[in-house]
Amino acid sequence: MRTSSHLRPIILTFGVPDAVIIAPMTTAERSYPTRVPITFQQRHGQVAVDQIRSVDRQRLVRRLGTAPARAVQAVSAALVEIFTR
User: Would 2 be classed as within a structural domain?
Assistant: no
Q: Which residues form the domain of 36?
A: 10-83
> What per-residue confidence (pLDDT) applies to 7?
78
User: Would 29 be classed as within a structural domain?
Assistant: yes
Residue 78 pLDDT greater than 80, yes or no: yes
Question: How many other C-beta atoms lie within 10 A of the C-beta of residue 55?
Answer: 15
Residue 80's nearest CA partner among 33, 46, 37, 40 is 33
1-57 per-position pLDDT tens digit? 655 567 778 888 777 888 898 999 999 999 999 999 999 999 999 999 999 999 998
Q: What is the pTM of this model?
A: 0.82
**For the residues of 40-76, what is the DSSP string, one character each?**
ETTEEEEEEGGG-EEEEGGG---------HHHHHHHH
> What per-residue confidence (pLDDT) applies to 1?
63
- The stretch 72-77 carries a mean pLDDT of 93
How many domains does the chain contain in total? 1
User: Would 73 be classed as within a structural domain?
Assistant: yes
